[in-house]
Structure 1
Amino acid sequence: MHRKGVYMALRYAVYDTLAGDVTIISKEKALSNLIFGVLDPAEAINEENICLYDAIMELNQFFFGQRHSFDIPLDPDGTPFEKKVYEYVSTIPYGSTKTYEEVAEAVGEPRGARAVLMALNRNPLPVFIPCHRVVGKSGEMMGYVGGLELKKKLLHLEAANLDRHFGNGSFVQMARD
């Protein structure tokens, strides 16, 4: 991968998580991709670095309910619109959901729900950019790079962890109120 004529070494590592095997790729000091499954990217070096180590630590903390947001630097590829969507989706609180329409409105494209859906289908960092928190207009589960079952599991995981800490389960609708 090249940026401004300088070769950027990609590093990757494969980890076993509660969501199954994931391949995490970093470029220099930021994450660029999370892929569900085992992948051996031809242009990357299979070598763990501090960025990858920190990423898997934060991911494991998330899966065990000990972390509700991520501190690891992210550097996702995407169009300016996609990056705006990723940035906004990253602000959706743990345990909350927004609709594709709400995200479109928030990024200045009130008629852009389909464009938001397409941007999130290309999200290179699922979980870190929590596109699983974006649902259809009536709360229905729609497309997720890891599959709808994993999307449901992630939402249930967040709900269970918040319920364990705060009780009554009313948090899932907080973002819509």
Structure 2
Amino acid sequence: MGSSMYFTYYHSPFGKIVLTANNDGLTSLEFIDGDKSTSIPAHYQQLKQEQTIFLDVCQQLDQYFTKQRTNFDLKLAPQGTKFQQQVWQALTTIKQGETKSYSWLAKTINNEKAVRAVGSANGANPIALIIPCHRVIGANGKLTGYAGGLVLKAKLLAFEGAEFDCT
């Protein structure tokens, strides 16, 4: 491979985001706590800070957060197993304002018995928001785990106009 890795920060209405990319596309989007612009999380310290490679990503995020965009059209390069890639691809079909269950996701990838494995793949999604794992909720309509926390998941879903049970 030998591909260079880059990172930059993006300030969203829901908190600070770290974006990473290589020459193939966006590799991660992670919400981080606090406003530590001088304190780089340890797993990003070996990367080159860059902004120009992220111009399209930041423009599309700006459009999303100002409700001018409902889906993303970006080069993505998430690292994962074939199964994870299949789950992440299926996640991209969930439209803004919709929520789906883990069992729906398992059926979508033609593996109805893999509900738990689908949940694990959903949780391993490295490109939060753009690959919309936050749109997956429990079959009972209740919120389930999210790497950014359930509060952030609820805020994102409410922002998108999705219905869910927050009790």
> TM-score when scaled to structure 1?
0.83
Q: Please list, as runs of the form range in 1=range in 2, the aligned pairs for 1:80-95 lying within 5 A after superposition.
A: 80-95=82-97
User: What does residue range 16-95 of structure 1 map to in structure 2 within 5 Å?
Assistant: 16-37=11-32, 39=41, 41-50=44-53, 52-95=54-97
Relative distance call for 1:78 and 1:29 in structure 2 (3 A) is: closer
Runs of 4+ in 1 over 4 A off after TM superposition: none
1:15 aligns with 2:15: no
Cα deviation, 1:109-128, whole Å, max 9, x if unaligned, reads: 10111111111111000000
Aligned-partner Cα distance in 2 for 1:23–1:147: 16
The answer to whether the aligner puts 1:145 opposite 2:147 as a matched pair is yes
Q: Which letter does structure 1 place at the counterpart of 2:20? A: I
Taking every aligned residue pair, what percent have the same amino acid on both sides? Answer: 34
Mapped partners of 2:103, 2:133: distance in 1: 14
For the residue of structure 1 that corresponds to 2:18, the secondary structure is: strand
For 2:65 and 2:8, how far apart are their aligned partners in 1? 18
**TM-score with structure 2 setting the length:** 0.88
Tell me by how many angstroms 1:49 deviates.
2.3
* Contact 1:101 1:113 (8 Å CA) reproduced: yes
Q: CA deviation at 1:63?
A: 1.5
Deviation at 1:172, TM superposition (A): 4.8
5 Å matches for 1:129-168?
A: 129-159=131-161
Query: What do you get for the CA RMSD once the two structures are aligned?
Result: 1.5
| Residue pair 1:11, 1:49 contacting (<8 A) in 2 also | no
CA contact (8 A) 1:23 1:39 kept: no
Partner of 1:113: 115
Partner SS for 2:73: coil
- SS in structure 2 of the partner of residue 55 of structure 1: helix
How far apart in 2 are the matches of 1:97 and 1:66? 20
The structure, 1 or 2, with the larger RCO (C-alpha pairs under 8 Å, 6+ apart) is 2
- Segments of structure 1 that go 5 or more residues without pairing to the other structure are 160-170
- Please list every run of 5 or more consecutive structure 2 residues that lacks an aligned counterpart in the other structure: 33-39
> Aligned residue for 1:167?
none
**Count of residue pairs brought into register by the alignment:** 156
